[in-house]
Amino acid sequence: QLPFFAIKIKLEEWNQALSILERMGLQAAAVTSPLKSVAFQSCFQTTDRAKELGALNTLVRNQGKWFGDNTDWEGFQHILKNHEILKCASVVVWGGGGTLQMIKSLLPNSQTFSSRSIQLPMEHFEILIWAGNPLSDLPPLSWSPSCIVDLNYREDSRAREYAQLVSAKYISGEGLFKRQASVQQEFWNKFRSGG
């Protein structure tokens, strides 16, 4: 029940932008990459999960101080459990950036590759986690995963194209987004209600 706006902030603008937004009355924020680590550094206090990951996606202001959480973890875990991906042995992560540590905390045996990698193995993977930019280059077709989990939920994500090319099941990141947003609201509401 608060007005909300999308505000683009460059990494090098973070400190100045946050100060200006505080003066304008910012009470809570959903933080996206590449700002998750620098937002973490701006907090007076964070949850243990945010500390473990060194990044957050949720900020709330209480008594002039910022408190933070990382709700991406709950969203990702939700998708993995609902689709029984935690049981799969052969998982590859394509991209990752600011979400890589969160992914590795839930899938420690997964192999990770930058979407800009030049040397890539020619092997088969059962599951591919698309954690790169929605417009990233495609992984090798020879990987031929049976399932693609897209951490994005945009219609134009190239993960959809890759899933079609290798005839794989496609799982949108929409479930992750909805679950993490629900946990995010719980965190905000806890502070708004004085909890």
Mean pLDDT of 165-184: 95
Which of 146 and 115 is assigned the larger pLDDT? 146
Does 65 participate in catalysis according to the annotation?
Answer: no
Task: Provide long-range contacts, Cβ within 8 A and 24+ apart, for 118-127.
Answer: 124/90, 125/90, 125/91, 125/92, 126/88, 126/89, 126/90, 126/91, 127/85, 127/88, 127/90, 127/91, 127/92
Residue 59 near residue 43, CB atoms below 8 Å:
yes
As a dihedral over the C-alpha atoms of residue 21, residue 99, residue 79, residue 109, rounded to 10 degrees, the angle is: -160
Over residues 45-101, the pLDDT tens digits come to 999 999 999 999 999 999 999 999 999 999 999 999 888 887 777 999 998 777 888
The token pair that represents 19 in the structure block: 């100060």
* CA distances in angstroms from 179 to 74, 76, 133, 172, listed in the order given: 7, 8, 21, 13
Catalytic site residue from 8, 10, 36, 51: 36
Question: CB within 8 A of 149, min separation 6: which ones?
Answer: 79, 80, 83, 85, 127, 128, 129, 130, 171, 173
pTM of the full structure: 0.85
Predicted confidence (pLDDT) at residue 41 exceeds the cutoff of 90:
yes
Sign of CA dihedral 80, 83, 87, 90: negative
